[in-house]
Amino acid sequence: MKIFSAQQIRNCDQFTIENEPISPIKLVERAAETCARWIENHFNKTSEFQVFCGNGNNGADGFSLARILYTKGFDVNVFINEKNSKYSQEAEINLKRIREISGIAVYDFNEIEDLGFQENSVLVDSVFGTGLNRKIEISVKNLIQKLNHLSFPKISIDIPSGLFADRSLEENQIVFNADETLSFQFWKKSFLHPETGKFCGNIHILEIGLSQKFIENEHSDYFVIDETEIHKIYRPRNQFSHKGNFGKTTIVAGSFGKIGAAVLATKAALKSGSGITFARIPACGYFVLQSVCPEAMVEVSGENFVTDFPVENDHVLGIGPGLGTNSETQKSFFEFLKNYKNPVVLDADALNLIAQNTEILSSIPRNSIITPHPKEFERLFGSTENSFERLELARKKSKEFGIYIVLKDHHTQVITPEQKVFYNITGNSGMAKGGSGDVLLGIITSLLAQNYSPEEAAVFGVWLHGKAGDFAAEKNSKEAMLPSDLIDELGNVFKILA
């Protein structure tokens, strides 16, 4: 699914109004009805809704929602900034409709303290939406601060007030702290970055019938990886195929004390479809790997750490988990990078070795995939102020070095040399454990070996990894799930795709 900027969303809104055609007030009504349906399915009629409305069309949504909820039998109060005289046309019409209903009281923002809310209250934030264009002024700032201190369930309409749709926060910005965000049609970039996404609670993207024609034709470099995208990438196995059709994967990993990393990466490669899987590890891990991964072939290199790198051109190499940073490993790894031309997948210590001498970055074979977490990324490319800036730096570096960057985060981003960004929305905090990254390297290397393009392998790989993580969390809890459980769930994820 494409992600649009606030301006593009406004254009889509306008295009829909002109071409469906539909009047702006009807479009607001449609958006509000969609929210009302969601609320009706999630709250019972004893709830009392306190709806806070701004003066733009986010406020218009709030007024309309308040009226619809009232007609459905909920108790509703509406709050506005009485000092505000400048309303959008749709907000003005909908506020007028509210004032005509005697059962809905309209209060000023300042009155919340005198009123005191019933304990069955639900707070609805319809103050600012995608039209926020500057730092919030003091009166609204005070309101949001007060609301944030109340412990009632909190719902934001379209976007928590105070967040910009497509950029980071202003300094000291106050943001409504939602439990649920009911957002229209599209993911917003700010939902997907940790500094801003933390205000959204659970995100529900509600379809409101904006123009498909506009959505198809409008260019965006930013995407959310959804199941439709994955179904396009996934290729079921042909029943007449044999192991030779699914590529050769070689995992180069492990050192004394870190053989587990090699095991996890190798197992993950085996369980994500690789035809023939090799593990190149130091001798100290030989028996362990042979016992726990009997399907893999083991090549020994060095005693306690890997001392030489294979140059088999028909294998796809995944390098790094538990490799260690011994100077001998580094020497042969750098030598290998200088001579090898096929795409490889690099993670963990492979990236730490490169970070020790970043001149070697330009020797990474074109179209390779690197999978750094934020700290590894910083060691390679330098620090940035926030995750929005980090993403833009990653786009620049991806283009400069002709490599795919899988920037691991709460919502991992796949960045391509053509400047595209794919945000992953599968996965959970139970995956924030040592070993998860080793599994991801195994999966992506295996997919690349099966002839998926680097973009497909990275996008499909992060989605599979997250989805298997979600299945593992469901069975074992986020606390107790292990990266090994995630590997065990890969089969169930492939089953839902078939």
Ligand X SMILES: NC(=O)C1=CN([C@@H]2O[C@H](COP(=O)(O)OP(=O)(O)OC[C@H]3O[C@@H](n4cnc5c(N)ncnc54)[C@H](OP(=O)(O)O)[C@@H]3O)[C@@H](O)[C@H]2O)[C@@H](O)CC1
Where along the sequence are the contacts to ligand X (CB under 6 A)? 9-10, 12-13, 27-28, 31, 54-61, 88, 128-137, 157-158, 184, 210
How many angstroms separate the CA atoms of 402 and 396, rounded?
10
Closer residue to ligand X, CB minimum distance, 188 or 467: 188
| Site for K ion, rule CB under 5 A | 125, 156-157, 161
Closer residue to ligand X, CB minimum distance, 34 or 352: 34
Residue with token string 């294979």: 310
In the complex, what is the shortest distance from the CB of residue 121 to K ion, in angstroms, rounded to a whole number?
Answer: 17
Q: Check the annotation: does 129 bind a ligand.
A: yes
- Sheet bearing 154-157, strands edge to edge: 105-108, 75-80, 48-53, 121-126, 154-157, 180-184, 202-206
Closer residue to K ion, CB minimum distance, 204 or 420: 204
Closer residue to ligand X, CB minimum distance, 181 or 424: 181
Q: Check the annotation: does 166 bind a ligand.
A: no
How many angstroms separate the CA atoms of 477 and 498, rounded?
26
3-class DSSP state of 217: helix
Q: Check the annotation: does 445 bind a ligand.
A: no
In sequence order, the β-bridge partners of residue 297 are 278
Which of 251, 389, 369, 380 lies closest to 321 in space, CA to CA?
A: 251
In the complex, what is the shortest distance from the CB of residue 19 to K ion, in angstroms, rounded to a whole number?
Answer: 26
How many angstroms separate the CA atoms of 79 and 73, rounded?
19
In the complex, what is the shortest distance from the CB of residue 174 to ligand X, in angstroms, rounded to a whole number?
Answer: 10
Q: Check the annotation: does 427 bind a ligand.
A: no
Return the one option of K ion, ligand X, none that residue 125 interacts with (CB less than 5 to 8 A, by type): K ion
How many angstroms separate the CA atoms of 42 and 111, rounded?
28
Letter for the amino acid at 162? G
Return the one option of K ion, ligand X, none that residue 161 interacts with (CB less than 5 to 8 A, by type): K ion
Which of 329, 285, 293 lies closest to 308 in space, CA to CA?
A: 329
Farthest-apart Cα atoms in the chain, separation: 83
In the complex, what is the shortest distance from the CB of residue 230 to K ion, in angstroms, rounded to a whole number?
Answer: 31
Closer residue to ligand X, CB minimum distance, 186 or 381: 186
Return the one option of K ion, ligand X, none that residue 494 interacts with (CB less than 5 to 8 A, by type): none
In sequence order, the β-bridge partners of residue 49 are 76, 122
Q: Check the annotation: does 399 bind a ligand.
A: no
Closer residue to K ion, CB minimum distance, 156 or 445: 156
Q: Check the annotation: does 492 bind a ligand.
A: no
In the complex, what is the shortest distance from the CB of residue 29 to ligand X, in angstroms, rounded to a whole number?
Answer: 9
- From the annotation, which residues make up the binding site for K(+)? 58, 125, 161
